[in-house]
Amino acid sequence: MARLSGQRVAGWKIAATSAAGQRHIGVDGPLAGRLLSKRLVAPGSTIDLADNAMGVAEAEFSFRMATSLPPRAAPYTVAEVAAATASLHLAIEVPDSRYHDFSVVGAPQLIADTACASWAAIGPPVGLDWRAGDLDAYDVTAYCNSNPVARGGGRNVGGPLHALTWLANEVAAHAGGLQPDDVVITGTCVPPVPVGPGS
């Protein structure tokens, strides 16, 4: 899919990191998918939802890599992955699928579908010492049209750094490893929020 798109792979996403995300797309574990360069937008951007089959937005923690994590025999640890990471960002993902009924096609088809990757807005680096804090304990509130509509936290993805470490090992095993400047969004911290044109 990435090759046929003609776009650069700008990073990776984890679909179905949380139990809510797994229920939403009908799988029993997380999936890795490529983020395409023209689908990463700045906060405040407008995107077209007219043909979006999934109709949800997700509040996520995101990381930008500083160094590569190439394939190797031993799995990477959380400490190694954190040391290879440049910055933490807040992100909103608006996923989509090329399948009309994405909840029944199964994990292999959804992986081929770039794990439902579509749009993602990546915020600026956060102004806190995230390595010293406990991202699992951070509360997350999603707003739609200025109203709080969903709550959760970093614990809903098993901890953002733990999710990033899973992704780093998955990509090292199957796709050459994470690269410098790759963006990784680590899964929705809240139940997916229904959105549509005008949201």
Per-residue pLDDT of the chain (199 residues; tens, 9 = 90+): 888 889 999 999 999 887 777 887 888 889 999 999 999 999 999 999 988 989 999 999 999 999 999 999 999 999 999 999 999 999 999 999 988 888 888 889 998 999 999 999 999 999 888 988 899 999 999 999 999 999 999 999 999 999 999 999 999 999 999 999 999 999 999 999 999 999 9
Beta strands 139-144 and 147-153: pairing type?
antiparallel
* Domains of the chain from N-terminus onward: 2-191 (3.90.850.10)
pTM: 0.93
